[in-house]
Amino acid sequence: MVNGVWREPGQLADAQLVRERLVPLRRRLEEVLDGLTDDLARAPSVLPGWTRGHVLAHLTGLGSAIARQAEYTRVDERIDFYDGGQAGRTADIEARAGRSAAVHSREVRTAALRVEAAFAAQTEGTWSRPTGNRGRTVAQLAESWWRELAIHLTDLDLGVGYAVWTPDLLDHLADYLAGRVPRGTRLELIPVDGVAGPWDLGDHAVNPIVLRGTAADLVAWLAGRAPEGSVTTGADGPSGADGGTEPLPALLDQWP
């Protein structure tokens, strides 16, 4: 829920809109990949326990899975999202993580271009078809790739910051991540830069906890990432995120 209004899923149910959202992110990723070395690929990402190679392996596997869903659903067939389910996904990431920078670069580019081609082939009637991924529609999978590509591009910690998150993506992420707000909690996220938002998330029957920061920092915090600047809570004063005494509210790790 954003500003008290539920957004309908499948906002990217249009090939041109998908292209406008995905191509700039893919090109930015390609710029990062152009400078990737084996040492950089093996170094830690910002995600605990994952190297950059793990992040790239995840993007490769996810992109391939999303493209496959879109390809099969277009001809009205269903197929499992990952071969071997979540266990297969985890095993595939571990198997691919240690590969060379050249292999990572080739595989991620191939997967991303396959995703774009699969979405470009959709028709007006296929965007709303349920896929083999828990019944999510093709349009919802387009949104999933939009989110994942943007967030993991910053997780690589290779010079791409939250500035790559456009205002429409920030609004979408806030809406999607609203599920992390625990029951009985209400958050008002007030961007001090006015780039996107504000966002009113959670239980509207209770008084809100007010958080302030840039739009990108607020969404980064909501996504479980460290803000680039400060996020404050309450009427004044710093939160626990930047050394204050008032901690930020807890968020759920998993949600429906």
87-111 pLDDT tens trace: 989 999 999 999 999 999 999 999 9
For 109, 120, 154, the CA distances from 106, given in Å and listed in that order, are: 5, 21, 19
Residue 117 covered by a domain: yes
Residue 106 covered by a domain: yes
Domains contained in the chain, number: 2
| pLDDT on residue 247 | 85
What sign has the CA pseudo-torsion 53, 255, 169, 174?
Answer: negative
| pLDDT on residue 3 | 36
Does 38 lie in the same domain as 156?
yes
Beta bridge partners of 190: 212
| pLDDT on residue 117 | 96
Residue 123 covered by a domain: yes
| pLDDT on residue 256 | 54
To the question of pTM greater than 0.95 for the whole model, the response is: no
**Residue segments in the chain with a per-residue pLDDT below the cut of 50:** 1-9, 235-245
Residue 64 to residue 58: CA distance in whole angstroms: 10
| pLDDT on residue 241 | 45
Task: Report the half-sphere exposure of 141 (CA within 13 A, side-chain side).
Answer: 31
Q: Give the pLDDT confidence of 148-171 residue by residue, as tens digits.
A: 999 999 999 999 999 999 999 999
Residue 192 to residue 197: CA distance in whole angstroms: 10
Does 153 lie in the same domain as 216?
no
Nearest to 29 by CA among 158, 165, 219, 120: 158
Does 33 lie in the same domain as 155?
yes
Q: Mark which of 160, 192, 223 sits at the end of a domain.
A: 160
Cβ 100 vs Cβ 38: under 8 Å: yes
Residue 6 covered by a domain: no
Provide the strand spans (E) within the chain.
186-191, 199-202, 209-213, 232-233
